[in-house]
Structures are given as C-alpha cells and as structure tokens.
Chain A
Amino acid sequence: MATLLHPLALIGRNTLALLAAIGRVAMFLGATISHMVRPPFYLKELWQAILNVGYFSLPVVGLTAIFTGGALALQIYSGGSRFNAEAVVPQIVAIGMVRELGPVLVGLMIAARVTSSVAAEIATMKVTEQIDALVTLSTHPMKYLTVPRVLAALITVPALVAVGDVIGVMGGFLVATERLGFNPAAYLQNTWNFLETLDIVSSLVKGAAFGFIAALMGCYYGMNSGRGAQGVGRATKLSVVAAAVLILAANFLLTQAFFSV
C-alpha cells in the first residue's frame, strides 16, 4: 500500500513545492515593485544595467532576427507555392516577425544572455557575502541590485524588440528580393500597408513583459541561491529555465489577449 501511495505523495509534494515557489516569486515581485517606486534610486546602477541589458544585446538580437526573417521568407515562399500563394511572403513575414517571432526570440535571447548573467552575478555576490556587506553598508540589495536590472529590462527590451522586428523584416526582404525575385519597392509597400498599429503595439508590450520576466527571474534565483559553486550553477540554470518557460507562457496569454476573436 505504501509503495502504491508513493506516486501520489510525490505529486502532492511537488504541487506544494510549486505553490510555495509561486508564492515566493509573487512576494519577490511585490517587493521589487515597492522598491521601484520608493527612493533612494541608484541612477548610476540603472545606466550601467541599461548598457548591459540593452546596448550590448544588440548584436545577438540583430543576428537572430536577420537569420529568422530570411528563413521565414524561404519557408513561406516554398509553403505558399503549394497553393499558388507565393505572393504573400511580405505580409506573412511582417506579421510573423512583428507579432510573434520578434518578441519571442528577443525574449529568449535576453533570457539566455541577461537572465543567466544576472543570476550568476547576484548568486556569486550572495555566496561571497557581498549581499550581507551591502546591507551592513546601509544599502538595500533589492534597490541596489534588483530594481536597476528589472527597470533596465523593462525599458530596453521593447526597444530591442523594435530593432529585432525591423531587422527581421529586412532579412525577409533581402532573401525575397535577392533570391526569390520580388520587387523591392513593392515588397516594402506591401509590408508597410499590411501592418496595423495593434501589431506593433502588441510587439512592444510583449517585449516589455518578457524583459521584466527575464530580469526578475535572474534576480530572484540569484538572491535565493544555495551555497557554493553548485548553488550558483543551480541558480543560473533554474533562472534561465524559469524565464524561458514563463516568457513562452506569457506570450500565449498576451497573444490571446490581443488577437483572440
């Protein structure tokens, strides 16, 4: 009987652990927002974080977007040709990039690049007592470490998404005009006429949400890291996994909110 009940106990234990984790993340989120709106504000740390999260992510975002846009154009052309719809390449590349792939790929790249480094940095600071040192120097770690990073992601990731959208569309444009024989002027005209304000707004809102999630997860797992090298490694891994899964889940919910009919 005991062995029979074991799987149930396992499910129960994991459910409780999951609920506890959700509660802890929610409390961390509340603390982050409450520290975000109350002084002191560390502007130098915010500027540093904006450079790290935003500016230095530009190359990876650009590369990701241009290859994805190019591949998308090829796929739509070959798929569309099955029912004589090759002509829709500009429209589908635009909608696919702006509504979905731009924000999602940028979000995942930020999870890989920023969440991991934030988690590893803060976790190492915790393990080497630098967080305790901050407190004894009358500086709140949430204000000094978490708020600048989360705020920086909230501000810069939408901008990165905008850049990614444009470069992605350009990737599609290059492939379509160079390889597939589309007329450049007509391609751009079709893209521009087809996109609606809501497509762009949804893209930027997704960017802000994904950036927030990515930075928050990095800070949360960093601050709650276990001891030693193993603790730092585990915190980093968990932060990236959590950020990626939450970004994809949030993407579904936001898509549903913006576009469900």
Chain B
Amino acid sequence: MIELRNVHKSFGPKDVLRGVDLSVGKGRSMVIIGGSGTGKSVTLKCILGLVTPDQGSITVDGAPVASVRSAKARETFLARFGMLFQGGALFDSLPVWQNVAFRLLRGQLKRPKAEARDIAIEKLRRVGLGAETADLFPAELSGGMQKRVGLARAIAAEPEIIFFDEPTTGLDPIMAGVINELIREIVVEMGATAVTITHDMTSVRAIADDVAMLHAGKIRWTGPVAEMDAASDPYLTQFITGSAEGPIETLR
C-alpha cells in the first residue's frame, strides 16, 4: 500500500533521512517509534508530499507520490489522507464544527452547509464530544479536547489512510489511554490504513499491528508488534525498556 524505498532527505548540512525503507500494508496499523529528531515527522511529511525527498521513491498503491503534480491530482491524492497533528493544528479563526468539516465545506468534497455541520457533529460525537462543542472556538478547549477535535477532523471525510503525529504527547495518562483506544477503534471500524509516530510505548502496544523503529535516519527494525519484545536488536530493546544504558547515544 505505502512503500518507501531508500528515501533520503537533508536540511542544509543535516542528514535527517539516510535511506528509509518501509512498507505499510493495506488496512494495517503501523507505528513508527524512535527518539526525538530521528526523522519520524519528516517521513510522514515526505509521504504526504509536504517535503520532497532528495533521493529514493515513495509509492501509494503503486503510484509514485512524486508524479502527483497538477493541483487537481494533488487534491484527489490528499483527499485519501487524514492527519492528526501533534498540537492539533486547529484553525483558531474557525469554530470547532467548521474545523472538523473543513474539507466538506470547500473543494471536490464540498456539500451543503447543513449537511457538513451534521457530519461534523456526528464525528465529534464519535470522538466523545457533545454537540455543544461545535460552536466553540479551538482556544476555548483543553488540550485533550483539541486532540479529539483534531481526530474528528482527520476522519471527517472518511479517508483511506490516516496519519497520527504523536497523538498522546502532552496528555495525562488517562486521556492518553482514551485517545489510544479511540484511534484503535476508529482505525478498525473504518478499515483504514494507519501510520502513527510516537515514542510512547503504551501507545505502541495499544495501537500497533506492526512496529518500525527509526534510528539515525534508517529503519533499524520492523515487524509485528507481537515480536517486538522478543527481538534481539539492542537498539530496539533499549528503546522499549527506556534504559539509559545501551547503544543509543544519550546526552547527559
């Protein structure tokens, strides 16, 4: 479904990705783990075409991402994706329901306002928010609620592929558990392909079918989540256990 082959990306003198190979099967939930600054977000942005790789190929259903050039083709391509951003990235000039229904109010998926609002309220209910939140502005919501609205926005247009960028960062453990559960349920009931990036191991165990570990710009280990604990890779083991001792350099 999603295939990355030998993807390289540098920003100035900094090599972030140094040959990432990764495949995510259709309908699978892949979780990419790795320390801060290892290029997890850049990998997602490369798949979406927000960042152009210096080298290598990325294909979605066999079609190279780089070949999607015209504005119309881009719109069709991006309509297949939903993304939950780390900080929510809600548009603070728009009320909650217009954030959720953003894609349904303009462009190819445009529909009547009343219908878009109904869908938005239904999606808000799906993530555990009442209809009364629909007319609030993002600044009036708590962090956990903003994440939920972001989640509702990501699934509003029923995408085939959903990306979650650190869905639990900055939330208390209970709220993190709720978000993990929501993600799992939604991915299963929509039958969507999901790619999540996180460094929260609780999240990994709750969400993942497959796990890939990114370290130093390359995929260090990948496999089903059930095999993760038994894997012999010392980098992976150190990350899972959160040990300060091991091959991953720590600044102290």
Q: How would residues 65 to 91 of chain A score, 1 for a CB under 8 Å from any chain B CB and 0 otherwise?
A: 000000000000000000000000000
Q: Is B86's beta carbon under 8 Å from chain A?
A: yes
Q: How would residues 109 to 137 of chain A score, 1 for a CB under 8 Å from any chain B CB and 0 otherwise?
A: 00000000000000001001110111111
Do A138 and B78 have beta carbons less than 8 Å apart? yes
Known: A137-B78, A140-B71. A129 touches B89 (CB 8 A): yes
Q: B229 → chain A, closest Cβ, in Å?
A: 33
Do A133 and B71 have beta carbons less than 8 Å apart? no
Scoring A38, A130, A134, A140 by chain B CB atoms within 10 A of each residue's CB, the highest score goes to: A130
Q: Which chain B residue lies CB-closest to A39?
A: B71
* Dominant secondary structure at the A interface: loop
Q: How would residues 78 to 94 of chain B score, 1 for a CB under 8 Å from any chain A CB and 0 otherwise?
A: 11011101110111100
Q: A177 → chain B, closest Cβ, in Å?
A: 46
Q: Is A42's beta carbon under 8 Å from chain B?
A: yes
Q: B78 → chain A, closest Cβ, in Å?
A: 5
Cross-chain contact of A136 among B81, B87, B91, B107 (Cβ < 8 A):
B81
Q: For A38, list chain B residues within 8 Å (CB).
A: 71
| Residues of chain B from 102 to 117 with CB closer than 8 A to chain A in the complex | 102-103, 106-108
Do B87 and A40 have beta carbons less than 8 Å apart? no
Q: For B106, list chain A residues within 8 Å (CB).
A: 40, 42, 139
Q: For B86, list chain A residues within 8 Å (CB).
A: 129
Q: Which chain B residue lies CB-closest to A38?
A: B71
| Residues of chain A from 178 to 225 with CB closer than 8 A to chain B in the complex | none
Q: A12 → chain B, closest Cβ, in Å?
A: 20
Known: A40-B107, A136-B83, A138-B108. A130 touches B78 (CB 8 A): no
Q: Is B48's beta carbon under 8 Å from chain A?
A: yes
Do B75 and A138 have beta carbons less than 8 Å apart? yes
Cross-chain contact of A132 among B71, B85, B103, B108 (Cβ < 8 A):
B85
Distance in angstroms between the alpha carbons of A140 and B71 in the assembled complex = 9
Do B103 and A137 have beta carbons less than 8 Å apart? yes
Q: How would residues 44 to 55 of chain A score, 1 for a CB under 8 Å from any chain B CB and 0 otherwise?
A: 000000000000
Q: Is B5's beta carbon under 8 Å from chain A?
A: no
* Dominant secondary structure at the B interface: mixed
Q: For A134, list chain B residues within 8 Å (CB).
A: 91
Q: B160 → chain A, closest Cβ, in Å?
A: 14
| Residues of chain B from 41 to 87 with CB closer than 8 A to chain A in the complex | 45, 48, 50, 71, 74-75, 78-79, 81-83, 85-87
Q: A94 → chain B, closest Cβ, in Å?
A: 41
Query: Which interface class (under 10, 10 to 19, 20 to 34, 35 or more) fits B?
Result: 20 to 34
Distance in angstroms between the alpha carbons of A55 and B103 in the assembled complex = 29
Q: A185 → chain B, closest Cβ, in Å?
A: 50
Q: How would residues 165 to 176 of chain B score, 1 for a CB under 8 Å from any chain A CB and 0 otherwise?
A: 000000000000
Do A132 and B75 have beta carbons less than 8 Å apart? no
Q: B22 → chain A, closest Cβ, in Å?
A: 19
Q: For B85, list chain A residues within 8 Å (CB).
A: 129, 132-133
Distance in angstroms between the alpha carbons of A136 and B87 in the assembled complex = 15
Do A136 and B50 have beta carbons less than 8 Å apart? yes
Scoring A129, A138, A139, A140 by chain B CB atoms within 10 A of each residue's CB, the highest score goes to: A138
Q: For A138, list chain B residues within 8 Å (CB).
A: 74-75, 78-79, 103, 107-108
Q: For B45, list chain A residues within 8 Å (CB).
A: 132
Q: For B108, list chain A residues within 8 Å (CB).
A: 138
Q: Which chain B residue lies CB-closest to A48?
A: B93
Do B50 and A130 have beta carbons less than 8 Å apart? no
Distance in angstroms between the alpha carbons of A44 and B250 in the assembled complex = 51
Q: Which chain B residue lies CB-closest to A133?
A: B89
Distance in angstroms between the alpha carbons of A138 and B68 in the assembled complex = 13
Q: For A140, list chain B residues within 8 Å (CB).
A: 71
Distance in angstroms between the alpha carbons of A138 and B50 in the assembled complex = 11
Do A133 and B107 have beta carbons less than 8 Å apart? no
Q: Which chain B residue lies CB-closest to A127?
A: B87
Cross-chain contact of B91 among A40, A42, A133, A135 (Cβ < 8 A):
A133
Q: For A132, list chain B residues within 8 Å (CB).
A: 45, 50, 85, 89
Q: For A129, list chain B residues within 8 Å (CB).
A: 85-87, 89
Distance in angstroms between the alpha carbons of A135 and B50 in the assembled complex = 8
Residues of A within 8 A of B (CB): 38, 40, 42, 125, 128-130, 132-140
- 29 pairs across A/B with beta carbons < 8 Å? A38-B71, A40-B106, A42-B106, A125-B91, A128-B89, A129-B89, A130-B89, A130-B91, A130-B92, A132-B45, A132-B85, A133-B83, A133-B85, A133-B91, A134-B91, A135-B48, A135-B50, A135-B78, A136-B48, A136-B50, A136-B81, A136-B82, A136-B83, A137-B78, A138-B74, A138-B79, A138-B107, A139-B106, A139-B107
**A-B CB proximity, top 7 nearest:** A133-B89, A129-B89, A138-B75, A138-B78, A136-B83, A129-B85, A130-B89
